């Protein structure tokens, strides 16, 4: 049901995050086989009595540097808990979501054309949505009053620092975190064999379906243009990672760590992968 809510929010043009995207289980992660070479320490130049030592310029800190340093500071413990959450959707809204989703599946080709005609805009009501105008308006109003996130499961996460990488191992049923790794030396975020570019700093509001947090977003969007042109259907992959801190809690003044992973593979217009993890890291 949580997936239906997030899918409908995306289809209706509701902003989940600044530029969020969406996702099956990826192929086994490819881990680097060569250990990164150690960086040699510079040898200070000798100075004469009347010579002033040369002052080195500070190394420029890029946005990618700052994002990786932030991520590195989050995963300082060798183990932690990951509390998985999902939207607490009222029962009456759930039935509307189910009927809406079923109608879109039954009219998939039509809906793709309809959505393309209103790209970047909220979709106007159509009777093929399988719900009445009042029910459709209730779905659109989810942006003004998004459901609260409630815990549904907790996974143990083991954090391993090895050869300049941060790698993760979980004990849950959805092992999406096992494909996630951070290259601390080259300031990369990786998912399976893909390098995920930094999209930028992210700040959300309390009206976001994921609640309020601030941090960073990494996003990969790639498409096989030749395959898509040859078949007339999209072949693409989307991966998104959100990592940030929530506002301080009133009672403890502690900030929770928000972590979201989204993975999608589409081959010839058919979704082959659609997995998402949303939750909080408990130190």
Q: What is the mean pLDDT of the chain?
A: 80
Answer yes or no: do 219 and 169 share one domain. Answer: yes
Domain boundary residue, one of 107, 129, 145: 145
Answer yes or no: do 160 and 124 share one domain. Answer: no
The residue segments making up the domain with residue 104 are 90-145
Provide the 3-class DSSP secondary structure of residue 228. Answer: helix
Answer yes or no: do 75 and 204 share one domain. Answer: yes
Neighbour tally for 167: CB within 10 Å: 20
Per-residue pLDDT of 123-137, as tens digits, reads: 999 999 999 999 999
Q: Residue 40 domain-assigned?
A: no
In this prediction, residue 53 carries a pLDDT of 41
Q: Residue 112 domain-assigned?
A: yes
pTM reported for the whole predicted model: 0.69
Specify the DSSP class assigned to residue 229.
Answer: H
Answer yes or no: do 169 and 280 share one domain. Answer: yes
Strand stretches in the chain, DSSP E: 79-87, 149-162, 165-170, 180-183, 188-191, 194-196, 198-203, 214-223, 236-245, 257-267, 270-282
Residue that the structure tokens 């189910």 belong to? 98
In this prediction, residue 135 carries a pLDDT of 94
Rounded Cα gap, residues 52 and 54, in angstroms: 6
Per-residue pLDDT of 51-94, as tens digits, reads: 444 444 455 589 999 999 999 999 989 999 999 999 888 888 98
Q: Residue 50 domain-assigned?
A: no
Q: Are the CB atoms for 142 and 14 separated by under 8 Å?
A: yes
Q: Are the CB atoms for 86 and 150 separated by under 8 Å?
A: yes
Q: Residue 278 domain-assigned?
A: yes
Specify the DSSP class assigned to residue 95.
Answer: H
The tokens for 101 are 């989703």
Neighbour tally for 247: CB within 10 Å: 12
The tokens for 133 are 């105008």
Answer yes or no: do 174 and 235 share one domain. Answer: yes
Answer yes or no: do 125 and 186 share one domain. Answer: no
The pair phi, psi for residue 40, each rounded to 5°, is: -65, 145
Sort 245 into a burial class: Cβ within 10 Å, 0-12 / 13-18 / 19+.
Answer: middle
Domain boundary residue, one of 130, 145, 160: 145
Q: Residue 241 domain-assigned?
A: yes
Domain boundary residue, one of 80, 110, 145: 145
Q: Residue 41 domain-assigned?
A: no
pLDDT above 90 covers a percentage of the chain that reads 47
Answer yes or no: do 69 and 119 share one domain. Answer: no
DSSP states along 159-199: EEEETTEEEEEE-SS--GGGGEEEETTTTEEEETTEEE-EE
Answer yes or no: do 21 and 67 share one domain. Answer: yes
Answer yes or no: do 279 and 239 share one domain. Answer: yes
Provide the 3-class DSSP secondary structure of residue 125. Answer: coil
Nearest in space to 139 (alpha carbons), one of 273, 275, 10: 10
Domains contained in the chain, number: 2
Mean pLDDT by 10 residues, the chain (283 residues): 53 43 35 37 42 46 93 93 91 90 89 88 92 92 81 94 94 86 95 94 89 95 74 81 94 92 85 88 85
Rounded Cα gap, residues 186 and 175, in angstroms: 25
Q: Residue 11 domain-assigned?
A: no
In this prediction, residue 112 carries a pLDDT of 85
Nearest in space to 129 (alpha carbons), one of 115, 148, 145, 119: 115
Q: Residue 229 domain-assigned?
A: yes
Q: What does the chain come to in residues?
A: 283
Answer yes or no: do 100 and 201 share one domain. Answer: no
Rounded Cα gap, residues 248 and 236, in angstroms: 38
Answer yes or no: do 231 and 129 share one domain. Answer: no
Answer yes or no: do 71 and 180 share one domain. Answer: yes
């Amino acid at each position: 049901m949580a997936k239906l809510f997030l899918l409908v929010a995306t289809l209706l043009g509701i902003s989940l995050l600044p530029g969020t995207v969406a996702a099956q289980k990826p192929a086994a992660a490819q881990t680097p086989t060569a250990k990164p070479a150690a960086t040699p320490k510079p040898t200070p130049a000798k100075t004469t009595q009347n010579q002033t030592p040369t002052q080195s310029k500070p190394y420029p800190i890029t946005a990618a540097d700052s994002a990786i340093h932030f991520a590195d500071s989050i995963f300082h413990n060798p183990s932690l808990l990951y509390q998985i959450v999902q939207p607490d959707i009222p029962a009456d809204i759930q039935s509307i979501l189910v009927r809406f989703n079923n109608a879109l599946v039954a009219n998939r080709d039509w809906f793709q054309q309809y959505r393309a005609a209103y790209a970047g805009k909220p979709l106007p009501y159509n009777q093929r949505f399988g719900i009445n105008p009042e029910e459709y308006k209730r779905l659109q109003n989810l942006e003004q009053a998004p459901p609260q996130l409630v815990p549904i499961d907790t996974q143990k996460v083991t954090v391993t620092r090895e050869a300049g990488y941060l790698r993760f191992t979980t004990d849950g049923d959805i092992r999406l975190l096992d494909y996630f790794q951070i290259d601390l030396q080259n300031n990369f975020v990786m998912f399976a064999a893909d390098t995920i570019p930094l999209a930028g700093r992210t700040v959300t509001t309390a009206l976001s379906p994921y609640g309020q947090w601030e941090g960073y977003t990494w996003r990969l969007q790639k498409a096989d243009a030749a395959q898509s042109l040859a078949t007339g259907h999209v072949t693409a992959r989307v991966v998104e990672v959100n990592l940030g801190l929530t506002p301080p809690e009133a009672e403890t003044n502690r900030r929770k760590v928000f972590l979201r992973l989204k993975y999608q593979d589409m081959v010839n217009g058919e979704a082959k992968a659609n997995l998402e993890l949303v939750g909080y890291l408990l130190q």
